[in-house]
Structure 1
Amino acid sequence: MSSSLLEHCKKEIADLLQKGLIRPSKSPWSCPTFYVQKNAEIERGVPKLVINYKSLNDALQWIRYPIPNKSDLLKRLYNSNIFSKFDMKSGFWQIQIDEKDRYKTAFTVPFGQYEWNVMPFGLKNAPGEFQSIMNEIFNPYTEFSIVYIDDVLIYSDNIDQHWKHLDIFLKTAKHQGLVVSAPKIVLYQTKIRFLGHNIERGTILPIQRSLEFADKFPDVIKDKTQLQRFLGCLNYIANFCQKLRIICKPLFQRLKKNPAPWTEEHTLVVKKIKAQVKSLQCLVICHPTTPKIVETDASELGYSGILKQVINNQECLVRYVSGVWNDTQQKYSTVKKEILAIVLTIQKFQDDLINQKFVLKVDCQSAKFILKNDVKNLASKQIFARWQALLSAFDFTIEHIKGSNNSLPDFLTREFLQGSP
């Protein structure tokens, strides 16, 4: 540890002692510490002390309390216009550790050993424990509050309603002894940044900082681990990009054993993805009762789907989905691929479609026939029957939209002939 970091460490430890967050320790446990200076620390101008709790975490039993799914939380904001945001000050430090367990949290610095009186950052069960406590406190108010670990969003339809919601939240926090970070309070906003997205009047878009990952990768990504990281980052924006998985197929093939050499095609794919990331469409948050439309498409490479909802007689984009065929699916006929695209798309959107009536728009008339008729005389009756069964849980009507090719007569002739005794 450099002399400047050592001086900073002495001041930080003295501050933690003065606040009663830690105390000197003679514990037989001991976890090492180090400082990091990543982008967030550089922006704050303060290095971050990190305790390597790997050995303690290995010994701890998992308490698998569920952390909420961010997408599910954001869906609650479909009809909200006013927002306020709070951050629990040093959230985990607001939870006391049982006296008999404090020795387990001991850590060393160059000039001594200390242990925590409160729950430190870095313990594997800390996020779940904090989420559990916050849920217990704020679950009665889920109609106007979202809690994600130590972040709280209050949302309302109008100003008057929002004032009442804030009053309830602040009184509850005070009663429970929770402390919010004053510098991070954001009040009465019509546009808010929350969970990595910009939210405004029922629309959603990833914040710009969350999209900067693309430019941190080169256009030529030959290293397998680096390519895996790049493709992993794309999961964050998958809902906002049409046919993303299909576009990425050449890159996913590079992850296989003994891949072909990197070519200009791969470089062009990376450049195309980077361009898409910089021009993402703003999507609407799915409303639970508005009319829904699903559109699907299948190609030789894979499938894509779009979920829309109708607002003021306009079709608005909710999200995209896409995927590539596996080796078995790749051998399917064109019609089978079209129907499988429908099945996979509806399954991906099922949280927004279950128990609702929606319209399925297809450009394959054969698909419409198979989904709504008896398939016992068709050669592929078993697989079609299975897909019919999967879709029977959904309430939808099918509209045929003209495609470039209507193969219904040829398809029926071929299937009936193959299915005949």
Structure 2
Amino acid sequence: MEQPILLVVAKPNGEKRVCVDYRKLNRLTKIYTQSLPNLSDVLDTLGEKHAQTYSVCDMRQGFWQLELDEQSKEKTAFMTHRGQYEFNRLPYGLANSPATFNMIMNEVIRDLNWKSALVYVDDILIYSKNFEEHLCHLAALFDKLIEANLKLKPSKCQFACKEVQYLGHIITKEGIAVDPEKTASVHSFAAPKKCQRSTYVPWTM
């Protein structure tokens, strides 16, 4: 099956990301069910652990770090003006890519998961009671990643902080709050002067 459209999507930092339109293949794909941590569970866990020091780690080109088996490679084939290509590594755009990556990451950090670390696809949160404990937790995480031959992107990591941004929220020892950047567009709305204007909000966040 050849996917006809190749898209190059610009990331917020200006980098390019190749993404194929896999809608036809996705319609024929059996979807994995992989649970992701919800914020209520995260908040409860951080409170129980009395966490005060945090790090956030982002995987470098996360999906592309996972190699596909030969049978799967041919299914990712796509056409360009220079001919047909296929992915050797897990591409963006496949219906099961996020669940597959999250499943692998949970397996990699299984001894740390919900004890000193949480993973949401390619975003890892490490939490500890104090700085000394945090260094031990980071070392344990790095050992796991090295063993699995997985790499982080240093420019998107925050280490040993009292406050971190994670999944659109600000996390501190006091709790979790929505990142102000995520609600800035709502706060910028002008106050309605007529009753009719308050009945419609354009959700473009």
- TM above 0.5, yes or no, is yes
Equivalent residue number for residue 265 of structure 1: 195
| Higher RCO by CA contacts (8 Å cutoff, separation 6 or greater) | 2
Aligned to 1:173: 145
Which residue number corresponds to residue 164 of structure 2?
192
Matches within 5 A, 1:147-226: 147-214=119-186
* Aligned residue pair count: 198
Distance 1:70 1:56 in 2: 32
Distance in 1 separating the partners of 2:128 and 2:26: 40
- Cα distance in 2, alignment partners of residues 204 and 125 from structure 1: 29
Instruction: State the Cα deviation string for residues 84-123 of structure 1 (Å, max 9, x = none).
Output: 1111111111111111221110122232221000110111
Q: Which amino acid aligns with 2:7?
A: F
Instruction: Note the aligned Cα RMSD (angstroms).
Output: 2.4
The match for 1:45 is 14
1:30 aligns with 2:24: no
Q: Answer whether contact 2:53 2:129 (CA < 8 A) is retained.
A: yes
**Identical positions, percent:** 30
Of the two, which has the highest radius of gyration? 1
Unaligned runs of at least 5 residues, structure 2: none
Give the structure-2-normalised TM-score: 0.86
Is the CA contact 1:35–1:50 (under 8 Å) kept in the aligned structure 2?
A: yes
Matched, 1:66 2:38: no
1:108 aligns with 2:108: no
2:27 counterpart letter in structure 1: D
1:145-203 Cα distance to aligned partner (Å, 9 max, x none): 01111111110011111111111111111112111112112111011111111111222
Q: Distance in 1 between matches of 2:86 and 2:149?
A: 23
Distance 1:136 1:46 in 2: 29
Deviations along 1:319-341, whole A, 9 cap, x unmatched? xxxxxxxxxxxxxxxxxxxxxxx
Q: 1:59 to 1:152 in 2, by over 3 A?
A: same
From the two aligned structures, give the one with the greater helix fraction: 1
Local SS of the residue matching 2:109: helix
Contact preservation (8 Å) 1:77, 1:155: yes
Aligned counterpart for 2:58 among listed residues 59, 82, 87: 87
Q: In 2, distance between residues paired with 1:72 and 1:32?
A: 39
TM-score, normalised on structure 1? 0.44
Instruction: Give the aligned residue type for 2:76.
Output: T
Q: What is the CA distance between 1:219 and its match in structure 2?
A: 6.9
8 Å contact 1:219–1:267 — kept in the other structure? no
1:96 pairs with 2:67: yes
